[in-house]
Amino acid sequence: MRILAIGDVTSVGGVMHLEKNLWRVRREEKIDFCIVNAENAAGVYSYTPELAERLLLAGADVLSGGNHTMRQRASYGILEENEALLRPINFGGEAPGRGYTVMRVGAVRVMVICAMGNIHIEPTLDAPFAFIERALMREQGNFDLAVLDIHAEATGEKLAVAHAFDGQIAAVFGTHTHVPTADLKILPGGTGYVSDLGMCGESGGILGMDAAGVVKKLRYHLPDRFVPAKGEPKADGVIFDIDEKQAKTVALSRIVF
């Protein structure tokens, strides 16, 4: 089975880029299942129901989230209704939606979990380990393989989560920093890992945003409105080749389109 994971969508332009290209890439790369982190699709603050629907029609099977997911109240209803939309599992019990889902891909049941770190990231949630562990135990026997989006700032925290569940989760990929990392590896127990997928949106700025606004905010510490960069859009992702019978990654590779 080939699973494609795509980094944080940073703007409506990123949504449009996937609408134009994702199904083509899925055909060319023989992708069986695709996960897209959509937490910035509306431009920094989460996504609207319309953008979520567009991403699913564009070729995403599951939309994962992160620290901005709950900032768009307009999305609360669709988070409750659509099992393909995830927010971090370690948000409080009053948060709408779910932190994991199980989707059928042919004869294979794929469990997708979304979790958030708690180092140098806001809001500060409880550590994700126990939440992930409980979800795996709760769904034992109901899935054939599991994959995890760990939305976190600290690479060490992402690696710790991957090692904690090495052999239990087939693939662990980091999101949030919008910067693709080169540390693709398969851990001893068979878990495929990368610290950050990167992003999907306009290139040429700072993490998908226009450079001038970001520099102004960091230099003068005054609030400023971020707008998407003006460069050509691109999508960063990683393809995980997974042996579904063993629920282990056998190969992984970067893709940019």
Tell me which residues are annotated as active site: 68
What CA–CA distance (Å, rounded) separates 112 from 149?
Answer: 8
Is residue 171 a contact partner of residue 191, using CB atoms and an 8 Å limit? Answer: yes
What CA–CA distance (Å, rounded) separates 168 from 240?
Answer: 15
What CA–CA distance (Å, rounded) separates 234 from 253?
Answer: 17
Is residue 225 a contact partner of residue 43, using CB atoms and an 8 Å limit? Answer: no
What CA–CA distance (Å, rounded) separates 8 from 59?
Answer: 15
Residue with tokens 């409880």: 126
